[in-house]
Structures are given as structure tokens and as C-alpha cells.
A and B are shown apart, each in its own frame.
Chain A
Amino acid sequence: MSAPEADDPSRSTRPNARSGNTFAGDAWVNFKRWNLKAVRNPFVLVVSLVQPIIFLVLFTEVFGNVAGSAVNQGLPGISYETYLVPAIAIQVALAAAITSGVGLVNDIENGMFEKVLVTPMSRTAVFVGKTAAEVFRIAVQIAIILGLGVLLGADIVTGVAGAAGIVAVGILFSLWFVAFSNAVAIITRDQESTIISANLLQFPLLFLSSAFLPLEALPGWIQAFARVNPVTYGVDAARSLMVDQDVMTVIEVSWFGGTLDGVAPGVAVLIGIDLALGAVAVTLLSRASSSDVK
């Protein structure tokens, strides 16, 4: 029971006693909350890993022999496991990014969105903290996939530094889809719609790209789509790091000579897409959280 006398002294000092009012402090508070929710709900964590793992195992076992020879025409001596793992890393980033929008819809539905808006926290910091938690989770999941890939016989030619690079490319790739799923979440304000619309995109994006087979082995119309598909840029950049060669299929550059020629254009394109979709999501978010009457 709180006694009145316990209340009074702090009441007078309260407005100055606020300690967490820095931008970083506010972001950290939200980072912790979303990580706690992720740990609390390991189902989400596991489910977004299961499908990519199934893909990794099934594709290497079922298509490994056939696809391996197609791969070896362009990249002699590279096993299908090694070829596939960067694509699965990108798939994980894609699948995990969907949960960002789902989390936002849940917050809107259970009132936490509005509750956070009436706190004095910086609204930008609130979303930075949430996104940071999701990016952190995606990094962990990609690391798990890389470890599993190595166990299954894949070879990360560039070693630990390359693995870190692949995680970084995966994060860069995930951001545009994080932005996309948040935009869908604000527009639909409905959990099912957000999951379905993001999931619907997942398979066309993956299959109509350089993820599973070299582009030259695919029909012309797929090659045409793959050129404008962000997945191609993410996969090619990650794959260049995996095999330590320039395997970027769409944009040819020779600024650095070697592996970085495969990584840099992909990274540049991803940053561009991230900024474009990020701007859309930020606009929608600030409209949703503004106090202007609607």
C-alpha cells in the first residue's frame, strides 16, 4: 500500500527526475521491449527460420545434383550448398522482416501504439528502437543459417570476415522489406492482411531471381524480372562474399578488381531501395502518429 507521505517528496521533484529522455535512452527502452517480446514468443523466431531451413535441406538434397551442374558451368568447383546458402540467408531476411509489420499491427490493436504516443519518448526513437531489435534478430537468424550451411557442407571461402559481410548484406537487404511490411501494416491495420500480402510476395521474389539457379539457366522473362528484383542484388552481393569472386549478374563494374566488384553494386542498389521505401514507411508512420485530425 502506498502511503501518502511516501508520495509527496518525489512529487515535487518529478519533472526534473526524468532520466531516460535522451534519444538513445528512448531507443534503448524500445529495443529492450521488442527483444523481450521476441524471446517471450520464440514461436515467431523459430517459424521464420523453419521455412528457410526446409528450403536449404530440401533444395540441396533434391536438386543438388541437377542444379549443381548448372552452377558449375559458370562457377567451376562450387558445390550447390555453397551456392545456395547466401540465397537462404536472404530468404531469412525476407521472412523475418515480415514480422516487423506484424508487430506494429499488434501494437495498434492492443493499444500500445497509442500508449507510447502519449509518453514523452521521442517518436523517432521509438521506431528506431523497434527496428533495431528486428535487425538484431535478423542478424542472429542469418548467423544461424550460415552455421547450419557450413554443417551441411557449404564453404564460406572468405571465412569469418566474409560471414560478417554476408550478415551485413542480409541486414541491408532486410530493411526495405521491413519498411514495406510496416507500410502495409499502417495501410491495412490488420494482422492477416499484413502477413498474407508480405508472404505472397516472398516466393515470386525468391524464385524470379538469381537465388536458386544462375540467371543464364532461366527463361528470358525471369531474367528480365530478376534484373529489377532486389533479391538478385542481395543474393549476388552475399554470394560474391561467400565464394570470394565477383558473381554479380546484373551490373558489371570493375572499380576494385575481384570480390568487391560483386558486392559494391549490390550494396549500392540495396541502399537506394532502402532509402526509397524507408521514406514511404516513415511518411506513413509519422502520419499515423501525428495528432492532426483525420
Chain B
Amino acid sequence: MPTPDQAGPTDRSREGGSGESGGTDAAASASAIDVDGLELTYADGTVAVHGIDMTVPEGEFFGFLGPNGAGKTTTIKVFATLLSPTDGTVRINGFDVQSDSRKVRESIGYMAQETSIDPELTATENIRFACEAYGVPRDARSERVDELLDLVDLADVADKRAEEFSGGMKKRLDAATALVHRPPLVFLDEPTTGLDPKARNRLWEYFRRINDLGTTIFLTTQYLEEADQLCDRLAVILDGDIVADGSPSELKREVGGEVLDVELEGGSAVSERAATIAREFDAFADASVAETDEGISVTAETAREHGTDLLVALRDAEITVTGFNIRAPTLDDVFLAITGEELDVDDAEGAQ
């Protein structure tokens, strides 16, 4: 929680976040996360993060989206004081991560990508240890432990050792231990990677509940669907740079209209011919056309109005249309539009 004297320096002009908080006083407008020119270079010369700027206001559910190796975990580790920035400043809850790291640690919860619990201890003991480590007052501990066991639905296995738990249960226990001190800001590093859809949906529900209670959440994910479902605002990171940011719907709007998927009979030669027709189609001046496995995918402002005209044109060119669908763009389309490549997610479970 920032003290008033720290609110001043953080009040720099920045595009994100300043819009909504304009009318409130200085303390309330302080951001949970304020990053200016963060760079991180590993000792072997690998540049993991190339000078990023971002601001996350208090109470937001913020998503940090990107493929494996894009710099998500490196960034979140800098925010959690586990790595020192090579250059730039990072203020978390108003505290500088380098000069005030202990105050940062007191005011955040951090859930690492790998589940981090002590398997030899019971669920209760794990949470109790976290309570003691974060200095939860003695008389509040028992209540806090019970409350968190309830929150993550582990009350009936409270006295079982964590080594007996399933992957999803361990993750939930890990999440509970990150919340013992009721931090105003929680970092979740790919919290659902490797979980089955049911366990994942359950975790989503807990994160929403925590966010509803006023906690700022910073979540990294490689699942577009997860970011779309949970986040108020997103930043897309690629090779250490933020390449896009905004609300999920803003980002989808950036794709430029709606998407018309057309399924065609015949091989890639047919798709290629159809793509050429779509590109030259007068009604879609600004269309972007991609060939897909089944046929073509056309993104255009006027896809809904003039979609049927394109289908007629394709029929006139003696191309057989076997199916079509007009839809709002997904974050997959966003990613494709930004990076020009499919987000490579090995998601057996991501597809639900």
C-alpha cells in the first residue's frame, strides 16, 4: 500500500490507467504496478526483456500474454523481487523493487509457475507456515487458515500431507499460501499450465473471487482463452517487447472487423484461387485474407454485411463452398494479426 509521499513520484504521465482515475485523489490513483523502461539481460548476454513500460492500476485483473520464452516469467520475477532489473525502474505498490524490496515482498502475493509447496507438511501446516512467514498476527492465524482452506476447497483434506494431493489440489494450496497476508496485489505465473479443464475452471473461479474482493491480479498466460475470460486488460509480449495492449475487446477491434471463415472443397490450389478473389473483392477494401486448412479466413470491417456477396462471387468462379461462419475475432486472431504467426500453444487441454 503506497504511502502518500510515494504517490507523487509514481504520478508520471502515462497513457494506460490515467484515464479512469483522473478525478480521484493522489493516493487512490497510485498504480499497483508502474514500470518504466525495464530491461533485463542475463549474464550470458541473452536479452530477456527489452525496455518495457506499463502501468497497472489498483483493482485491475491484468493479463500478460505471450508464447513460451517471450519474457513473461522473467518480467514477473523482477516484479516479485527475485531478479534485479538491468535497467529501468519498477515500482510495486509504490515501492521500488530494488531499494525497497522488503516492502514490496510484504505487499504482494506470488505464485510461481512451478507449484511450490512443502509436500511433507499438511495443507494446514503449509498455510500456517506462510502466515508466520508473512507475519500474520498470532490471534488471526487460525481464522485465516480456515478461511483460505475454505476458499480453495481444501477444508476436508486440511490435515492430509500435500504429497498426497493431485496437481490441481497442490496448485490451489499454493494459491492459498500466496494470499495469507491479504496482499493488495497478487502475481500468478501461468497458474493453470498443465491442469485439466475442470481444475483450471475451478482456479479461474477463485481468481475472479479474489479480484472481486479488490485484489489487483497480474496473470501471465499462454492461453488466449484464459486471458479473454479473466482479464480486464492485456499486454502481449513477444521476444521481450510489448507488442500490443488494451482490453480484450479493444485488441479484438484492432484486428479490424469481423472474421468470415469459409470452408472450401478441393485442395490448396482452390484455397489460393479463393484467397485471390477475396483480396480483390471490392466490398472488402481493407480485408486481410489468410488461407487455412479448410479454406480461407477473411477479416474485414464489412465481413458481416458483404459476406454473402463473397460467397456468390466464389460460386461464380466455380468454387464449391461447403461451409461458412461469421464470428467476432478471438484473441487468437489478435495474436495472428500482431505477430503474423499462430500462437504456438501445446494445448491438448487448452481447446476445452
- Enumerate chain A interface residues (CB-CB to B < 8 A): 1-2, 4, 6-8, 10-12, 14-15, 17-21, 25-26, 29, 32-33, 36-37, 40-41, 110-112, 114-121, 291-294
Contacts and interface: CB of A to CB of B under 8 A. Distances in A.
B129 A291 contact: no
Interface string B32-48: 00000000111100000
B182 A33 contact: no
Interface in B126-166: 129-130, 132-138, 140, 147-148, 150-151, 161
B30 to A, nearest CB: 14
Contact of B1 (A1, A4, A15, A18): A15
21 contacts: A1-B150, A2-B147, A4-B213, A7-B214, A10-B182, A11-B182, A15-B107, A17-B135, A17-B140, A20-B135, A33-B118, A110-B117, A111-B112, A114-B82, A115-B117, A120-B133, A293-B42, A293-B83, A293-B86, A294-B42, A294-B43
A118 B80 contact: yes
Given A11-B184, A118-B110, A119-B105, A18 B134 contact: yes
Given A18-B134, A114-B82, A291-B83, A1 B151 contact: yes
B135 A36 contact: no
B124 to A, nearest CB: 11
Chain B residues touching A, majority SS: loop
Given A19-B137, A291-B81, A7 B115 contact: no
A292 B42 CA distance: 9
B181 interface: yes
A111 B162 CA distance: 13
A2 B147 CA distance: 6
A121 B181 CA distance: 13
Contacts of A19: 135-138
A40 B162 CA distance: 12
B105 A118 contact: yes
List 3 tightest A-B contacts by C-beta distance, closest first.
Answer: A111-B116, A18-B135, A20-B135
B173 to A, nearest CB: 12
Interface string B83-119: 1101000000000000001110111101010111111
Nearest to A110: B119
From B1, B101, B107, residue with most partner A Cβ within 10 Å: B1
A11 B125 CA distance: 23
B212 interface: yes
Contacts of A37: 118, 120-121
A120 B117 contact: no
A90 B133 CA distance: 34
B177 interface: yes
A29 B121 CA distance: 14
Contacts of B125: 36
From A15, A120, A294, residue with most partner B Cβ within 10 Å: A120
A180 B219 CA distance: 40
Given A19-B138, A33-B118, A40-B120, 14 more contacts: A2-B147, A14-B1, A17-B135, A17-B140, A18-B135, A20-B134, A20-B135, A26-B133, A33-B129, A41-B120, A110-B117, A111-B114, A118-B82, A120-B134
A291 B84 contact: yes
Interface string B4-15: 000000000000
Contact of A7 (B101, B136, B213): B213
A9 B208 CA distance: 20
B1 A110 contact: no
A119 B132 CA distance: 10
Nearest to A22: B135
A17 B42 contact: no
From B1, B182, B212, residue with most partner A Cβ within 10 Å: B182
A293 B115 CA distance: 22
A293 B182 contact: no
A7 B182 contact: yes
From B40, B108, B120, residue with most partner A Cβ within 10 Å: B120
B82 A291 contact: yes
Contacts of A111: 112, 114-117
Contacts of A294: 42-43
Nearest to B116: A111
Interface string B206-219: 00000011100000
B133 A20 contact: yes
